[in-house]
Amino acid sequence: MSENEGQPRNRAIVTGGSRGIGRGIAEALLGQGWRVFLCSRSEGSIAEALHELGGRFGGAVAGRAVDVRNQEAVDAFVAWVLGEVEGIDCLVNNAGLGRFGPVDELTGEQWREVLQTNLDGAFYFLHAVAPVMKRQGDGWIFNIASLAGKNPFAGGAAYNASKFGLIGLSEAAMLDLRKHGVRVSAILPGSVDTGFADRDQRSERKDHGWMLRPEDVAAMVLHLLSYPSRALPSLVEMRPSRPPK
Ligand SMILES: NC(=O)c1ccc[n+]([C@@H]2O[C@H](COP(=O)([O-])OP(=O)(O)OC[C@H]3O[C@@H](n4cnc5c(N)ncnc54)[C@H](OP(=O)(O)O)[C@@H]3O)[C@@H](O)[C@H]2O)c1
C-alpha cells in the first residue's frame, strides 16, 4: 500500500499561476475541487490573482511570490505548501518568459534570465517535489514546454535552448520517476493568446482569435489527470487548428 492510500489526491502547485496559461490551469483545477498553491515572480501579480481567485474559490487557493530562479526560495515555498497540506499530487512547471533576438545581439543577462527561469526553475521545483511524490507512490508533474522546444526559429536562441532543454529534462525525469508511480509529461503548446513577453515585437497581427487559449492547455491538463493510471502520455503537442492562411 502506498503512503498516499486514503489521502485526498487534489493538491496542486502551479508556477507562474498569476497570469496567462498558469492562471488558466489554476482556475480549471480549482473548478474541479483541487487545492491550488500558486507562485509568480512579482508581489503585485500574485496578490491580484489571489484576490480574484480567492473571491471565487475561497480558501482552496493560496500563494506567494517566488522567483523560480532562486532554489532556496523554491524549497521554502514547497516546505510552506507541505505545512498547509500533507502531500502534493500535481506540479505544473509553467513559469516562463521569452527574450528574443539574433544570437549575437542577445545579452548574457537576457540569456541567463530565460535559461534560469524556463529551465533551472523547472529543475528546482522537480527536485523539491519529486521526493514527496515518490514517498506517496503517486503524482503527476506537467512541464509546460513549447513547440519551440522542437522547432528552432531565427531570434529564438535563448528561448529555443530553454525549451529544448526542458523537454530533455522532462523526458529524463519521466524515466526516473515512473517506476515510483510518478508521471511526468511535457506539454508543447503552439501560440497561446496571453500577454507573453515580446509578443507584439514578434507578431504584427492584431487578430488573435486563431490562437490557442489558456483554457485549452488547462483542458489538456485535466484530461491527462483523468487518464488511466497505467497510461502515460509523456509528450503532448498542441497546435491551433486553424492558423491564419
Ligand atoms: N503564450 C504562448 O504562446 C506560449 C506557447 C508555448 C509555451 N508557452 C509557455 O507557457 C508558459 C506560460 O506562458 P504565458 O504565455 O502564460 O506567459 P505570461 O502570460 O507572460 O505569464 C508568465 C507567468 O510566469 C511567471 N514568471 C515569469 N518569470 C518568473 C520567475 N522568475 N519566477 C516565478 N514566476 C515567473 C509570471 O509571473 P509575474 O506575473 O509575477 O510576472 C507569470 O505568472 C511559459 O513557460 C511559456 O514559455 C507559452
Active-site pick, 124, 142, 159, 164 = 159
pTM above 0.85, yes or no: yes
Ligand 1 centroid to Cα of residue 197, in Å, is: 8
DSSP output for 155-216: T-HHHHHHHHHHHHHHHHHHHHHGGGTEEEEEEEE--B-S--TTHHHH------TTSB-HHH
E-strand spans in 150-205? 182-189
Domains (range + CATH), the chain: 11-194+206-238 (3.40.50.720)
Rounded distance from Cα 7 to ligand 1 centre (Å): 31
C-alpha cell at 99: 527574450
Residues with CB under 6 A from ligand 1: 15-16, 18-22, 39-42, 45, 66-69, 94-97, 117-118, 144, 146, 189, 191-192, 194-197
- Ligand 1 atom at shortest distance from the alpha carbon of 117: 31
Q: Tens-digit pLDDT profile for the chain (245 aa)?
A: 455 555 678 999 999 999 999 999 999 999 999 999 999 999 999 999 999 999 999 999 999 999 999 999 999 999 999 999 999 999 999 999 999 999 999 999 999 999 999 999 999 999 999 999 999 999 999 999 999 999 999 999 999 999 999 999 999 999 999 999 999 999 999 999 999 855 545 555 568 899 999 999 999 999 999 999 999 999 999 999 999 98
